[in-house]
Amino acid sequence: MSVSGINNSAMAGYATEAARSAGSSGAAKSEKSEETKKTYTGGRTVGKPQLSEKAAKYYEQLKEKYGDMEFVLVSKDRMEEVKKNAAAYGSANKTVVLIDDEKIERMANDEEYRKKYEGLIEKGRQQMKSMAEKLGPNESVKGFGMQVNDDGTLSYFAAMEKSSKAMNEKLAEKRAEKKAEAKAADKKAQKERALERLQEKRSEKPNFDPDSVETVSADSVEALLDKISELDFSKRADSILTESEKQVGSSIDYKG
């Protein structure tokens, strides 16, 4: 073969490879553009959860599939905060599911992962129904919920009405906090934080005053039932006066 023939053959190979590379690059760009995430604003959210178009579509389907539950989508950076105050996101009418945006994104793109976590949600759904039946009517319980964890497990929680003693302590605590904040923060910082809280409240839509309830959580429904019973007993005990307390003001001196 002549040198010219070799060069032409090499050039053809380079051209073919370049075309393949360009096609691959174009596909990657197209795939990347489809995965562009946007702030999700549908339904109840905490923080600024980010979902791709595909994940947002899947999330709507998931909510429709479990229409008897109320999903709250949490941005990953807010999940630890939500764990500590889960009762604030409870619902008086439906079992709440707290789940972060990263899980929804992966569920939308990984079939095995999706099957695993949908199975987990269904399991929790049945267990929460069973727990509600066992508990029966209880005015202290304002709502139930569950949280989908990173390790493939569920945590359960109940929003419980605080005792009057706890409420008074909380009010005193909040007054002290507000007083300290007023001294520490300048007017601009306070205004920005107030605006941020207002925006969060509009999206989070709590069903009741978070200060009126407390979170009771457990890793199983059985343990949650036990904790609810313990708290109920404790509240009743707080409302019962001791014998010495009953005597105060109950005896009248007629000798005067």
- CA–CA–CA angle 65, 225, 83 (5° rounding): 60
pLDDT of 163: 63
Q: Is the pLDDT of residue 250 over 50?
A: no
Tokens of 63: 């909510």
pLDDT of 31: 45
Contact 54, 34 (CB under 8 A): yes
Q: Which of 206-210, 230-234, 247-251 is the most confident on average? A: 230-234
Give the mean pLDDT of 36-43: 91
Q: Which of 84-88, 132-136, 215-219 is the most confident on average? A: 215-219
pLDDT of 178: 64
CB atoms within 10 A of CB 198: 9
Q: Is the pLDDT of residue 14 over 50?
A: no
pLDDT of 73: 96
Q: Which residue has the tokens 């306070």?
A: 190
CB atoms within 10 A of CB 131: 19
Give the mean pLDDT of 100-117: 97
pLDDT (tens digit per residue) in 70-92? 999 999 999 989 988 887 887 77
Angle between the 101-109 and 111-135 helix axes, to the nearest 10 degrees?
130
CA distances from 66 to 27, 55, 75, 103 (A): 35, 16, 21, 17
pLDDT of 126: 94
pLDDT of 42: 87
pLDDT of 197: 54
Q: Is the pLDDT of residue 53 over 90?
A: yes
Q: Is the pLDDT of residue 2 over 60?
A: no
Q: Which residue has the tokens 């910082």?
A: 189
Domain ranges of the chain: 37-237
Q: Is the pLDDT of residue 252 over 50?
A: no
Q: Which residue has the tokens 């109320």?
A: 70
Written as one letter, the residue type at 181 is: E
What is the distance of C-alpha 176 from the center of its chain?
A: 28
Least confident of 6-15, 78-87, 138-147: 6-15
pLDDT of 181: 67
pLDDT of 84: 84
| CA 158 – CA 229 distance, rounded (Å) | 12
Q: Which of 3-7, 53-57, 139-143 is the most confident on average? A: 53-57
Q: Which of 79-88, 96-105, 187-196 is the most confident on average? A: 96-105
More confident residue, 7 or 104: 104
Give the mean pLDDT of 230-248: 62
Average pLDDT value for the chain: 75
pLDDT of 185: 66
| CA 66 – CA 172 distance, rounded (Å) | 41
Question: Which candidate, 131, 146, 173, 51, places its Cα nearest to that of 89?
Answer: 146
Q: Is 103 left (phi over 0), alpha (psi -120 to 50) or beta?
A: alpha
Q: Is the pLDDT of residue 191 over 80?
A: no
Alpha helices in 162-220 (DSSP H): 164-184, 187-204
